[in-house]
């Protein structure tokens, strides 16, 4: 230990003893937490709005929790006596929405309008700073650099209003705090509503008390639709116009998907219940290989039922789903659901399933669908996805580059250093914070595997079953 470092350590010890002598037990407990607990590692999650933080010591107040048990704390609970002091500081950080806390693990969720490059440094500081392991990791957790990466395109939150299971309208909310924008569905939904009121009977005001809003999650606008230069959107001179265009596009896509999901037969079934049977599948879609959203859901249910009965391999429903995905055509929502489902089949569909998903990842026009296909490739865990992900590091959409980096972090091997080199090269040119983080973390994981140092390999669900991640 150098003389300067020895002097600093001695000074810290003296200060700590002085604090203990002058302050009552609660304050000493708080100081004890601040000294012992620090952030040991920061990891991304499959959700771009969440990051996982590993601590080097248990959080005060949560030590009794064991295994996978945890507790969720929301922003409003920051003043609660049951909330540990360290989590109060985290929740009071600008941009933090909620925290799922386990003794030595925290999943931090941000609000849509916040950027991780601003949120993460605050959270790490609120938890006592980072350990030496975090400091030497090389991850972009500080925004002090002049050319710090900027955040990804903000998401648009979608909600669907329904009344007695019948959709009424769609709502889209941007990230700048502007009022939400709503869009009504086609007249056939209004006609179905009138018939349903007649079937239920009673005054219409009592009927509409059954209205509820369903959260449909986040939608990320395709950068190419908003600007010719994908990077220009991140520094747009008119952020309000960019948000308005993103909201408009997300709303347009969601309305189209709802319209596709609710055929006339399905609306009739909602209105009249069991008195009306759903119409059979369209012969036209059978001939062309295209499927509606309703047909995709039915085939997914059929495949799950066959698997539950012990059937393995490429079942007939799974084959039809893969064939539909491989066409590259059809309603976007139906294709997205089909890709997401077959990605979770564990590879039992063989080459047909992998090639259908891989083709979507490479050629789909919609960035959101390419990202979903990337999720599916990750879930399949097939090493043939590695060269596809390496190419996708140059994709025009930040979300696709982010997913490609995650695939390489999960499946990439130390192939003479080429994967690590590709990740490092992409990181030098990356401007989106989440992508930059993922690229560097993926390179770290591949390097750990190359050194035989326990770097986890495979999709996230498999890593959770096999043990702690790198």
Instruction: Please indicate, yes or no, whether residues 45 and 141 belong to a single structural domain of this protein.
Output: yes
Instruction: Please indicate, yes or no, whether residues 55 and 125 belong to a single structural domain of this protein.
Output: yes
Give domain status of residue 243, yes or no: yes
CA distance 173 to 244: 9
Instruction: Please indicate, yes or no, whether residues 122 and 164 belong to a single structural domain of this protein.
Output: no
Residue ending a domain, choose from 336, 364, 392:
364
Give domain status of residue 279, yes or no: no
Question: Positive or negative CA dihedral for 226, 231, 232, 236?
Answer: positive
Instruction: Please indicate, yes or no, whether residues 163 and 254 belong to a single structural domain of this protein.
Output: yes
Give domain status of residue 348, yes or no: yes
Give domain status of residue 210, yes or no: yes
**Residues 154 and 172 sit within 8 Å (Cβ to Cβ):** no
Residue ending a domain, choose from 218, 253, 273:
273
Instruction: Please indicate, yes or no, whether residues 170 and 143 belong to a single structural domain of this protein.
Output: no
* Domain harbouring 403, CATH code: 1.25.10.10
pLDDT tens for the 470 residues of the chain, in order: 444 344 433 443 333 343 334 444 444 344 444 446 789 889 888 888 899 999 988 887 665 665 567 889 998 888 888 888 888 999 999 999 999 988 888 999 998 778 888 899 999 988 888 888 887 776 766 543 334 455 565 678 899 999 888 999 999 998 887 899 999 999 999 999 989 888 877 676 777 788 899 988 878 766 544 443 444 444 456 778 888 888 998 899 889 888 878 888 888 888 887 454 444 444 334 435 688 888 999 999 999 999 999 988 899 999 999 999 999 998 888 999 999 999 999 889 899 999 999 999 999 988 889 999 999 999 999 999 999 999 999 998 888 999 999 999 999 886 667 888 999 999 888 888 888 899 999 998 898 888 876 555 555 545 444 444 44
**What strand order describes the sheet that includes 105-110?**
39-44, 50-55, 105-110, 96-102, 71-74
Instruction: Please indicate, yes or no, whether residues 292 and 269 belong to a single structural domain of this protein.
Output: no
Residue ending a domain, choose from 300, 333, 364:
364
Give domain status of residue 376, yes or no: no
Instruction: Please indicate, yes or no, whether residues 23 and 90 belong to a single structural domain of this protein.
Output: no
Instruction: Please indicate, yes or no, whether residues 46 and 27 belong to a single structural domain of this protein.
Output: no
CA distance 92 to 74: 10
Burial pattern 121-132, b for ≥16 Cβ within 10 A else e, equals bbbbebbbebbe
Instruction: Please indicate, yes or no, whether residues 399 and 456 belong to a single structural domain of this protein.
Output: yes
Residue range of the domain that includes 387:
383-470
The model's pTM is: 0.71
Instruction: Please indicate, yes or no, whether residues 161 and 228 belong to a single structural domain of this protein.
Output: yes
Instruction: Please indicate, yes or no, whether residues 138 and 167 belong to a single structural domain of this protein.
Output: no
Give domain status of residue 374, yes or no: no
Give domain status of residue 347, yes or no: yes
Instruction: Please indicate, yes or no, whether residues 32 and 46 belong to a single structural domain of this protein.
Output: no
Please state the domain count of the chain: 5
Burial of 282 (0-12, 13-18, 19+ CB in 10 A): middle
């Amino acid at each position: 230990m150098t003389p300067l470092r020895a002097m600093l350590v001695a000074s810290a010890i003296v200060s700590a003893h002085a604090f203990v002598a002058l302050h009552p037990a609660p304050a000493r407990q708080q100081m004890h937490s601040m000294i012992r607990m620090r952030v040991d590692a920061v990891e991304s999650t499959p959700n771009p709005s969440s990051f996982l933080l590993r601590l080097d010591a248990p959080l005060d107040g949560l030590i009794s929790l064991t295994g996978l048990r945890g507790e969720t704390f929301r922003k409003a609970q920051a003043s609660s006596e049951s909330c540990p002091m360290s989590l109060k500081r985290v929740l009071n950080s600008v941009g933090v929405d909620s925290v799922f806390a386990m003794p030595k693990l925290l999943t931090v969720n941000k609000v849509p309008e916040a950027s991780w490059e601003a949120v993460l440094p605050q959270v790490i500081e609120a938890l006592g700073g980072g350990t030496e392991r975090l400091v030497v990791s090389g991850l972009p957790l500080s925004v002090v650099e002049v050319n710090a990466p900027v955040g990804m395109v903000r998401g648009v939150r979608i909600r669907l209003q329904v009344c007695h299971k019948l959709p009424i309208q769609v709502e889209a909310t941007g990230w700048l705090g502007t009022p939400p924008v709503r869009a009504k569905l086609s007249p056939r939904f209004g006609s179905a509503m009138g018939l349903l009121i007649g079937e239920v009977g009673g005054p219409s005001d009592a009927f509409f008390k059954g209205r509820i809003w369903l959260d449909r999650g986040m939608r990320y606008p395709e950068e190419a639709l908003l600007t010719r230069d994908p990077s220009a959107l991140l520094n747009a001179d008119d952020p309000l116009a960019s948000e308005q265009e993103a909201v408009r596009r997300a709303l347009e896509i969601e309305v189209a998907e709802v319209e596709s999901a609710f055929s006339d037969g399905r609306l009739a079934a909602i209105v009249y219940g069991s008195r009306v049977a759903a119409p059979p599948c369209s012969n036209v879609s059978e001939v062309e290989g295209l499927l509606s959203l309703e047909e995709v859901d039915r085939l997914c249910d059929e495949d799950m039922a066959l698997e539950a009965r012990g059937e393995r391999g490429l079942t007939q429903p799974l084959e039809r789903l893969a064939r539909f995905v491989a066409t590259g055509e059809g309603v976007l929502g139906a294709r997205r659901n089909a890709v997401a489902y077959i990605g979770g089949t564990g590879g039992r569909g063989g080459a047909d399933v992998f090639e259908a998903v891989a083709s979507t990842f490479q050629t789909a026009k919609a960035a959101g669908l390419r990202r979903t296909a990337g999720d599916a490739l990750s879930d399949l865990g097939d090493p043939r996805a590695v060269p596809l992900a390496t190419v996708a590091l140059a994709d025009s959409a930040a979300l696709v580059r982010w997913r490609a980096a995650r695939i390489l972090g999960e499946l990439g091997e130390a192939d003479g250093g080429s994967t690590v080199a590709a990740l490092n090269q992409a990181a030098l040119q990356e401007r989106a914070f989440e992508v930059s983080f993922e690229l560097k973390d993926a390179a770290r994981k591949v390097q750990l595997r190359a050194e035989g140092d326990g770097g986890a390999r495979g999709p996230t669900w498999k890593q959770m079953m096999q043990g702690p991640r790198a």
